[in-house]
Amino acid sequence: MIIKKVKLSDIKNENKFLLSYPLRPELYQNWENSFLDVPKIAVNQKNEILFGADFYHYCKIQKKPREIDAMQGDFPDKEALLLGYNLKDKFYGFNLYEKLIFVKKFKHFYFLARPADADGSRGWISEIYERTGLDIKINDELLTQLETLTGNEFLKILSADRIALKAALKLCGFTSQDRKFFFLLFARAAFSTSHQLKILELMEEIMFRDKTSCAAVFEKLNIKDCFDSRNPREIIVEKIFKYRFPEYSQKEQEWQKKIKKLKLPANVKLFHYPFFEKRQVDVHISLPDPQGINRIIKNLEQKGDRQS
């Protein structure tokens, strides 16, 4: 690989090795004058961009036709993609959509170079893990839905890292029309992975039970009004859970009655497991100082001695 001057007009901006979704030329606003001796773009012998598509677009936006320093080398397509991935990973990292695009393109280039292995070989997966820092699990479920996940429909939500991969895979089982409402929901409120999966699971059951659409359920529950509340995530999950399990409201009322009867001190709080999915009870005790812990332990030991 060499470093040479390349005319901006000679650089080929193609999708072949592109791993930037969306393109973010603004990343270079403060980078252009940093690392002055380090090329910010890598190309192959055909001047196709391997790394630095964002920088290329930054230069175009600046409207300054010029030559730029570029790393140039002659690589097979698979090696070129790996180089682009590792350079981008080193400088900027990847969003979830970009990682999935990389998996899709690497698989394509791997079997293009080794057509004899196209009958089900998993060697390409091992090579990804050996030669990159990719941190997603490539399994049958992912490979089955890879085309769907790397389509335009999922681009915005995945590139914004507003949905976990497990939830995205679950979402593939919904219709395209229903998916739109979940995209909006997850884009507006930052749910944990477990809450995303819980929402999708509950909604799937509700929609099957009521023979209805996601839109109809969200409208019935006034989900859009929840975003104006202080804790929209908790309220939304609870609303959906209560609608799926009407008996939950009764359990919650019974729980509150039991707590009142206990007449606990102000510094002691009891919490049931979310949605009563387990019988577990958590005890929260507020203490004015760390020494309070020792007093509690001592009292418990004394009670234990008396009982024995």
Query: Using CA atoms, how far apart are residues 67 and 59, in angstroms rounded to an integer?
Result: 10
Residue found under tokens 């998993």:
122
Q: Would you tell me how many other CB atoms lie within 10 Å of the CB of residue 61?
A: 11
- The whole-number pLDDT of residue 260 equals 77
- The whole-number pLDDT of residue 120 equals 64
Burial of 100 per CB tally in 10 Å (0-12, 13-18, 19+) = buried
Q: Would you tell me how many other CB atoms lie within 10 Å of the CB of residue 198?
A: 20
Query: Using CA atoms, how far apart are residues 221 and 150, in angstroms rounded to an integer?
Result: 31
For the segment 81-138, what is each residue's pLDDT rounded down to a tens digit?
999 999 999 988 999 999 999 999 999 999 987 776 666 678 899 999 999 999 999 9
Residue found under tokens 């973010």:
24
CA angle 71, 77, 83 (to 5 degrees): 45
Please give the model's pTM, rounded to 2 decimal places: 0.80
- The whole-number pLDDT of residue 170 equals 97
For residue 22, say if its preceding peptide bond is cis, omega within 30 degrees of 0.
Answer: yes
**At residue 15, what is the residue type?**
N
- The whole-number pLDDT of residue 269 equals 78
- The whole-number pLDDT of residue 250 equals 73
Query: Using CA atoms, how far apart are residues 186 and 83, in angstroms rounded to an integer?
Result: 33
Per-residue pLDDT of the chain (308 residues; tens, 9 = 90+): 899 999 999 999 889 999 999 998 887 766 656 656 778 899 999 999 999 999 999 888 887 668 888 999 999 999 999 999 999 999 889 999 999 999 999 999 999 877 766 666 788 999 999 999 999 999 999 999 999 999 999 999 999 999 999 999 999 999 999 999 999 999 999 999 999 999 999 999 999 999 999 999 999 999 999 998 889 999 999 899 889 988 776 777 777 777 777 777 777 777 766 656 677 777 777 766 766 677 666 665 665 555 54
- The whole-number pLDDT of residue 33 equals 60
308: its two tokens? 């024995």
140: its two tokens? 């049958």
231: its two tokens? 């804790």
Pseudo-torsion of CA 160, 164, 167, 172, nearest 10°? 50
Length of the chain in residues, anyone? 308
Answer for the pair 28, 93: CB distance below 8 angstroms, yes or no. no
User: Could you tell me where the DSSP H helices lie in the chain?
Assistant: 53-61, 77-91, 96-113, 123-131, 140-149, 152-159, 165-171, 176-188, 193-210, 214-220, 223-226, 232-244, 247-262, 291-307
For the segment 51-94, what is each residue's pLDDT rounded down to a tens digit?
999 999 988 888 766 888 899 999 999 999 999 999 999 988 99
- The whole-number pLDDT of residue 92 equals 86
